[in-house]
Structures are given as C-alpha cells and as structure tokens.
Amino acid sequence: MISKHEDWTEEDKTRILSEYMKIFGEVWKEAVTVFNNGNMPGQSQSADKKEEARTEETAEDLEEAEIRHEGTLIAVTKKRKEYPAKIAALLGKTTRLQKNTVEVLKVDLPPRPPLEVDNNTSHLNANLASMLEASSRALSENMNSLQPHNHRLSHLAEAMDILTSNRNNPMEVLLSSCE
C-alpha cells in the first residue's frame, strides 16, 4: 500500500513503515500477553507472580491502552460512517436532479405495460385469471384513450397561459385600444 503512493519520497515511505512496524509490534506483544495470560511463549510463572505483575502493569498502562483502543475505534468507525453518508448524499442529489429535470422538460413518461398473465395457470383459479385479463385489458384501453385527451388538455393549458400573458403585455394593450 505504501508503494502505491508515488508522490512520497523513499525517506517518507521508510519512516511510515518503521512507525507501522513499531506500533504493530507493541500491539502484537499486548495481544500475546493477553491471550497467554501474561506469559510470553516459553515462560512460566506462579499464579501469585502473574497477578502482581498484571496489577502493576494495569495500573500504569491502563490509560494509555484505553486511549490507543479508543483511537483505533474512532479511526475505524469514522471510515464506516463517512462512506455511507457520502453515497447517500450522492444518491439523494442524483434523484433530486433527475426529478427536477423531468419537471423542467415536461417529459411524458410512457404508460406502463398492462399486467401479463402467464399461460401456466395451474396455481391460479381460472376464474381469477380471466378476471385479471379482463381488468388488465380494460385498464390498457382506458390508458390508451386518455393519453390523447391528456395531451390536448396540456396544450390548451399552455395556450391559455400564452393568451393571458399577451393580454397583460403593454404592447398588446396598446394595439387593442387603437382598434
């Protein structure tokens, strides 16, 4: 991952790698200590000595370990919170722009195709299938017959808007008063 950054100098890459290895080594030692109950591999202590060592170590390093733990959690959850928010914002913006574009351009969306009934009616009642076909056919005919009326009404509304704007136009008022 470090080698992918071509804009970094070799000195920066070496410094970052050494810092990473140092932190990784500390975390590894801590994990080994926790999972081996305080014993490093090959070591053995009595139970009293382990508890004494653990209480001294815990009292001294508890705050530092907590800070490191919180820092790690914050870094990881920040990434998890950041990307979904960006994607949600992008999706919302795209949807809003598409909606506004459709409204501005006055796009007439084609009617949806009627519901189709597949020929396999073994699971459906024959009466239900015929009722569904009849209602689908009626709906399709109504949609086809209403579409020209809808276009005609939209053109009439546009014509009325033009007429009212012309009546309020000062030049039109002047010409109509001269006649």
User: Residues 3-22, buried b or exposed e (16+ Cβ, 10 A)?
Assistant: eeeeeeeeeeeeeeeeeeee
Angle in degrees, 0-180, between the axes of helices 126-167 and 170-178, rounded to the nearest 10? 70
Percent of the chain surpassing pLDDT 70: 68
Residue of higher predicted confidence among 86 and 54:
86
Per residue in 31-42, pLDDT (tens digit) is 777 777 655 555
User: Residues 112-121, buried b or exposed e (16+ Cβ, 10 A)?
Assistant: eeeeeeeeee
Query: Distance between CA atoms of 91 and 87, rounded to whole angstroms?
Result: 6
User: What value does the mean pLDDT of the chain take?
Assistant: 74
Per residue in 96-129, pLDDT (tens digit) is 888 888 778 876 766 667 766 556 555 657 777 7
Residue of higher predicted confidence among 77 and 60:
77
Domain ranges, ordered by start, for the chain: 126-178
For residues 8-17, average pLDDT: 81
